[in-house]
Amino acid sequence: MNNFISVKDVTDIDALVAKALLFKQQPFAESLLGNNKKIGLLFLNPSLRTRISTQVAAKNLGMEAIVFNVDKEGWALEFTEGAVMNGTTVEHVKDAAPVLGSYFDILCIRTFPSLKNREEDYAETIINQFILHAGVPVISLESATLHPLQSLTDVITITESLKEKNITKPKIVLSWAPHIKPLPQCVANSFSQWINAWGKADFVITHPEGYELDEQFTKGATITHDQQEALKNADFVYVKNWSSYHDYGAMPAVEGDWMLTNEKLASGNQAKIMHCLPVRRNVELSDELLDGPNSLVTEQGANRVWAAQAVIAEMLTRKTNK
């Protein structure tokens, strides 16, 4: 694994999941792997789970993790090639990334989309510029369009739950949820990409009209505007808001109430409820579901450590074998 930006960087999803679950059993099984190595975590926007779980994962591998809040503590970065930097940006990524690469063995970056310019966001300019100029492996801590550590965690959490449920081919539903402001498509894109690549589920995506995602991620899933139909016999319901991809960043008006409740799931399969967090309670998801016996949200958050640890260990092993 050279970089970890999307599911395309993973040759065997189940093997990576198995590695993560092994770390869950034995967190310090490879505690010398990262000895005398450093990992840099750069944040261009806030985080609770991604930041701390990656730090814990690195520590379990004997690595030192250094966090840098670029948006608050660093110079304003420029990403445009050939830019005349007479405005607000102070330092070009071409200058900053190689320096950061010289400090660290692995560089991790969290960015966010502008939600204003789709072409720019979907070109993943920021993370690609770091990959181009850092000279060390790069891990995405969420990019403009994808959130691969979250999606790996989600597959880990589903895999664990499947063992308990004794199901071989689950029905997994990604269900759009309301929100008070426009959010990126990253989590929904990434979840779709991973579940499709995993290939072990009957995968259904349900959302209101106007919230179609980029087909490059959803191809292979059944897509419906009928939420109630989608929820029938679901084993897992992943709840998430996203803004419009086609009318980029907009929040088209929605008919009906899309917030998931116990009542909507009443005729179902005792579906497990998933959300990446943070969640707006009683806007995206009802208290009754979040606090109920079928909620997996805490397990998902906790499993972020094992996903990060598996990915970092893969990279360290590759570097060691080089």
| Interface positions, 124-143, toward ligand CP (CB under 6 A) | 142
275 touches ligand CP by CB under 6 A:
no
Q: Does the footprint of ligand CP cover residue 157 (CB under 6 A)?
A: no
Per CB under 6 A, 59 contacts ligand CP: no
Q: Provide the minimum distance between the beta carbon of 56 and ligand CP in the complex, in angstroms, as a whole number.
A: 13
Choice between 150 and 175, CB closer to ligand CP: 150
User: Left if phi > 0, otherwise alpha if psi is -120 to 50, otherwise beta: which for 91?
Assistant: beta
Q: What are phi and psi of 238, to 5 degrees?
A: -100, 115
Q: Element (H or E) spanning 283, and its range?
A: none
CB of 76 to ligand CP, least distance (A): 22
- The verdict on 6 binding ligand CP (CB under 6 A) reads no
Does 50 interact with ligand CP (rule: CB under 6 A)? yes
Site membership for ligand CP, residue 111 (CB under 6 A)? no
Amino acid code (one letter) for 114: S
49 binding ligand CP? (CB under 6 A): yes
Residue 99, interface with ligand CP (CB under 6 A)?
Answer: no
Can residue 92 be called a binding residue for ligand CP (CB under 6 A)? no
Select from 3, 6, 47, 190 the one that contacts ligand CP (CB under 6 A).
47
Phi, psi of 63 (to 5 degrees): -100, 150
Map tokens 């759009």 to a residue: 176
Using rule CB under 6 A, residue 277 touches ligand CP: yes
* 67 touches ligand CP (CB under 6 A): no
Q: Which stretch binds ligand CP (CB under 6 A): 221-229, 244-252, 257-265, 271-279?
A: 271-279
Asked if residue 48 binds ligand CP (CB under 6 A), the reply is: yes
Residues 6+ apart with CB under 8 A from 295: 272, 273, 289
User: Where would I find the beta strands (DSSP E) of 225-270?
Assistant: 236-240
Query: Which of the ranges 45-53, 99-107, 178-186, 285-293 carries the binding residues for ligand CP, by CB under 6 A?
Result: 45-53
Give the number of other CB atoms < 10 A from CB of residue 4.
26
Q: Identify the residue whose tokens are 């539903």.
A: 173
Task: Pick the closest to residue 276 from 61, 99, 49 (CA basis).
Answer: 49
What's the closest the beta carbon of residue 53 comes to ligand CP, in angstroms?
8
CB atoms within 10 A of CB 2: 10
Task: Indicate which single residue of 6, 140, 143, 150 sits in contact with ligand CP (rule: CB under 6 A).
Answer: 150
For residue 76, the 8-state DSSP code is P
184 upstream amide cis, omega within 30 of 0: no
Return d(Cα 174, Cα 182) in angstroms, integer. Answer: 18
Binding segment for ligand CP (CB under 6 A), chosen from 48-56, 58-66, 98-106, 205-213, is: 48-56
Half-sphere exposure of 11 (CA within 13 A, CB side): 3
Interface characters, 220-249, with ligand CP (x: CB under 6 A): ------------------------------
Q: Is 193 in the site for ligand CP (CB under 6 A)?
A: no
* Count of chain residues binding ligand CP (CB under 6 A): 9
Angle at alpha carbon of residue 311, lines to 307 and 312, rounded to 5°: 115
CB–CB of 258/231 below 8 Å? no
Among 172, 204, 276, 311, binds ligand CP (CB under 6 A): 276
Residues that bind ligand CP (CB under 6 A): 47-50, 142, 150, 276-278
